[in-house]
Structure 1
Amino acid sequence: AGVDRRALGAVVAGTGPAPFTGLRAGLVTARTLAFALGVPVHGVCSLDALAVQAWEAGAPGDAEVVVVTDARRRELYTARYRRAGDGEARGDVVPVDGPAVVRPDDLAATLAARGGVVVGPGLAVHPLPSAGDAPLVDGVDAAVLARLALARRGGLAGLTTGEPLPTEPLYLRRPDVMPAAARKRVTG
């Protein structure tokens, strides 16, 4: 970005939900950079940023936004949001439901009953009939993550006040790799 490292006041990272390895590697990298630079590190749910991007891309301001990303195993990570109102952090979002892991058919049934503007990169893998003419939001914008962290921490001058922003990964299911149930015999 052409910024001197001494000009950095904090590191912000998306906390997921996402697959284990990529999420863990990204968060460790963010923590390591922050430690090396002597600045704080803040985490923001990646789905939150995608919801903000949806409204910036043209989703109706009064509509609830349902963000979907690919969770693999024929499932989606999803969360439903509304825009922050008066008395809430400007430019922020408020979770209405989720985040969760759901099957596309189950989410389609929920959307049929509750509506909402569906956005996110999960639509490329699992098209949902109710997505319609939703704005294209195909990936998390790092600048939006940073803006959310600033809004939640009270602005640049107030990075020591406001909402805590932990960098714990948001895992919504158990890992694929499990220890063996019994020891294997190695000799005959």
Structure 2
Amino acid sequence: MNEYVLALDTATTRTSVALLDGATTLIEVSHDGATGHGEALPRLAAEALGQISPEQLRAISVGIGPGPFTGLRVGIAFARSMAWALEISVVGVCTLDALARDYVLQEPELSGDFAVSTDARRKEVYWAVYDRVGNRKGDPIVTRSSEISGDLLALPTIGSGAALYPQDFTAHCAPVFPTASSIGRLGFEKLASGELLSTEPLYLRRPDAIPPISPAAVAR
């Protein structure tokens, strides 16, 4: 019996979508552009689903960040709406965890901890540390790379944040962007284990654009 999962991530400047059958990737497509998530995502999803009918999906797995407000909102809203329409499960996956999974698969002989860092804009990064098998050690944070202690900066570090600030992340390495395939595999594992399927976004800070407070509202 097929276990089709549609996986997507919009937490970075790359919009990526994959169709998996269990842990096996059938197709993965992507689009690069910091502001093109809303236009690219429906097209990429349609391309990924070209091999099956949407009604054959068991679940949707979506990256929940951390990431910028607008990109995350696009992906999570798309996943929730599609899951609601198809009456299937939707599961959220930390985007940094997906990058960590990609790195562990790429480097199976890791001997120690490593870090994942993605671009948070405003000269900041999203950052977390993982053990050699890809288990996260604590919650992700948002910070300036220059404020991370030196011993942690010396860890092998993957992601777009490390690529942006090589003067701080001296051991930066690939991959730079997460794959939707790893979003899908981690989501499928959550489904299989019965883990809580939360899709609450990891913003870690307020959005860049905040509606102004009117003088009348302040007066009240």
TM-score after normalising by structure 1: 0.79
Q: Residue 196 of structure 2 aligns with which residue?
A: 164
Task: Figure out how many residues of one structure are paired with residues of the other and give that number.
Answer: 167
Distance in 2 (alpha carbons) for counterparts of 1:165 and 1:126: 34
Alignment of 1:104 onto 2:145: yes
Q: 1:23 aligns with which of 72, 88, 91?
A: 72
Q: Residue 156 of structure 2 aligns with which residue?
A: 117
Deviation at 1:96, TM superposition (A): 0.7
What do the CA deviations read for 1:35-57 (whole angstroms, capped 9, x no partner)?
A: 12221100000000001111112
Name the amino acid aligned to 1:20. Answer: F
What do the CA deviations read for 1:3-34 (whole angstroms, capped 9, x no partner)?
A: 22222100000000111011011100001111
Deviation at 1:146, TM superposition (A): 1.1
- 2:206 is paired with a residue of what secondary structure? coil
Q: Please list, as runs of the form range in 1=range in 2, the aligned pairs for 1:123-162 lying within 5 A after superposition.
A: 123-132=162-171, 134=173, 136-154=174-192, 162=194
Name the amino acid aligned to 1:29. Answer: F
Of the structure 1 ranges 67-76 and 142-151, higher mean CA displacement relative to structure 2 is found in: 142-151
**Distance verdict in 2 for CA 1:103–1:81, change over 3 Å:** same
Distance in 2 (alpha carbons) for counterparts of 1:66 and 1:179: 35
Alignment of 1:70 onto 2:119: yes
Deviation at 1:110, TM superposition (A): 4.7
Distance in 2 (alpha carbons) for counterparts of 1:119 and 1:131: 11
Flag structure 1 segments of 5+ consecutive residues without an equivalent: 85-92, 155-160
Distance in 1 (alpha carbons) for counterparts of 2:74 and 2:144: 26
8 Å contact from structure 2 (residues 114, 155) kept in 1: yes
Q: Compute the RMSD of aligned alpha carbons.
A: 2.1
Q: 2:136 aligns with which of 95, 98, 103?
A: 95
8 Å contact from structure 2 (residues 162, 172) kept in 1: no
Q: Residue 89 of structure 1 aligns with which residue?
A: none
Give the structure with the higher percent strand. Answer: 2
What do the CA deviations read for 1:65-97 (whole angstroms, capped 9, x no partner)?
A: 20000000000001111245xxxxxxxx32213
What do the CA deviations read for 1:102-146 (whole angstroms, capped 9, x no partner)?
A: 11111252525xx42210111232224444363x11212111111
Distance in 1 (alpha carbons) for counterparts of 2:72 and 2:142: 16
- 2:135 is paired with a residue of what secondary structure? strand
8 Å contact from structure 1 (residues 12, 30) kept in 2: yes
**Distance verdict in 2 for CA 1:53–1:70, change over 3 Å:** same
